[in-house]
Amino acid sequence: MTTTKNQKLLNWVAEVEAMCTPDKVVWCNGSTEEYDRLMGEMVASGMAIKLNEEKRPNSYAFNSDPSDVARVEGRTYIASLKEEDAGPTNNWIDPAELKETMKGLYSGCMKGRTMYVIPFSMGPIGSPISKIGVEISDSPYVVVNMHIMARVSDKVLDVLGDDGDFIPCLHTVGSPLEPGQEDSRWPCAPIEKKYIAHFPEENLIWSYGSGYGGNALLGKKCLALRIASAMAGREGWMAEHMLILRFTNPEGKKFHIAAAFPSACGKTNLAMLQSTVPGWKVETIGDDIAWMKPGPDGRLYAINPEAGFFGVAPGTAEYSNPMALASCRKDAIFTNVVVTPDKDVWWEDMGVECAGGTDWKNNPWTPDMKDADGNPIKGAHPNSRFTARAELCPVICEDWENPAGVPIDIFVFGGKRTTTVPLVHEAFDFNHGVYMGATASSEPTAAALDLGNVALRIDPFAMTPFIGYHAGDYMQHWFDMGEKLGDKAPRCFYVNWFRKTDDGKWLWPGFGENSRVLKWMCDRVEGKVGVRETPIGYMPIDGELDIDGLDLPAEDWAELMKVDTDLYKKTVIDCETFLQKFGDKLPVQITEQLENLKKRLS
């Protein structure tokens, strides 16, 4: 039972219980005993697979339903009171209409199940930058993942007190059970009945029908980005899809970097980078989300609101990200990976051999299996995941849970471009940096290349699916924050690790060598190196970005640092077309930056 006397919370729990009619209600306390008990129950029911205790202590694997494997953007809604407040990047439904529909679905939806009440803190408990949420869910899988991804504890209720405010998050798998009915391994509702709904004016989240990832772990993208970005816009702080790292030089001076990259651009790899610069050390503070507020000294302070990593498994290997792999050596949850005969886990591009096992659909699998068209059948789903405790990361920073946060020196934006964009350039000033973030771009994936002359995929601040209000207002908020921070605003840079030669070879070695680029940024902050001015921004003077010891031909380096104005003009056309969709909500500063860039390029 609960110890809370918070009447608002007690009333809400009673209201949900009456609507969803569970068999029983359990208040979660985040304890080891609770975690072990729920895992034991899920192993007994066949939902969870206990992994080899010697190879993977206290770790478990799950297989989701094939219809429930990722975020469902088409079923994700921002239900603001006015449609124009949701903006062109969001699906909007009238909140009254959406609540009517979802209340119909919620009626009796937890029949035959346990309703779990999960009090959690996003960010260190009691931090002035943190927020308290309470998730109600009928999924024990959600409870154990929330144990890792957020701070679930009775202490949260203590901080909440009798009249504190919290963000209500309601979730159900949408699969009620009749008496005697056997449960499925992974209960969920069909795609057309799934809803992930956000009510920004009420700081309210309702999710129905999916048990997977960010659709169900409502502290993650739903609260930490969509609702938090809308709150931050109103309250004068920032909720961003950014990693946070500390980079310390040989003299012990610490620099803090927050970086935003669209998916598949090496964000987690950068967050856990192994520096190749002698004497310089990288430590991880967060791999996915940053909440930032101005501190008493006028600088911007950041916390990682999450307590764990919900990482994509395929491609995570000893050569690409040994620290992520080490983070899930024990106490981890794996979803939709291969389980080997000796009860360990495997996925594609893990860098180790696998003779076979049970695939993500829970069927026997070997690596030589082919589909009807002769293509290899993957053992792990491309979006298979590991849930790992941040505290187990070997390079976690000692200040990662500092309630005051860490002061941000540098913002980095980037995308995946095989041509056009050089390895690194610096913004002329903060407003120019905001323009760079607002027009961060990647080339279309291979699946889209058959569409002919496809424009760039432009993803402002890597936030397109996660902005909880009008993206034009969100961009304006960046400019407003820059004005508020003044000369204490972080310096802004843009990187592109993905340039290729005409015959398709990578020009830059990437991975740990990216630390050389970060060092140049830190040297810029300290005024230790100069720059040359180009139409797109400031760039390194030859010899001042250290590439000693790299097998990098002079012509490759020249290509990495080249600014081709003709190619850039094409990018500007793509950006201008994209920005038109924001209409009169597009900040005037963006238009000014665009016009200035056009002038410089001509």
Residue positions annotated with a catalytic role: 265
Please, what's the b/e burial string for 316-330 (b: 16 or more CB within 10 A of its CB; e: otherwise)? bbeebbbbbbbbbeb
Residue count (the chain): 602
* Residues 473, 476: Cα–Cα separation, whole Å: 5
Residue 247: how many other CB atoms lie within 10 Å: 23
Residue 457: how many other CB atoms lie within 10 Å: 18
Position of tokens 């005024």? 527
> Which are the contacts of 528, defined by CB distance < 8 A and separation ≥ 6?
none
Q: Give the tokens for residue 243.
A: 């990693």
* Residues 570, 361: Cα–Cα separation, whole Å: 44
Q: Strands 151-152 and 114-122, how do they pair?
A: antiparallel
Q: Give the tokens for residue 576.
A: 């201008």
* Residues 102, 322: Cα–Cα separation, whole Å: 43
* Residues 105, 498: Cα–Cα separation, whole Å: 46
> Which are the contacts of 73, defined by CB distance < 8 A and separation ≥ 6?
91, 465
Do 379 and 357 contact (CB within 8 A), yes or no? yes
SS3 344: coil
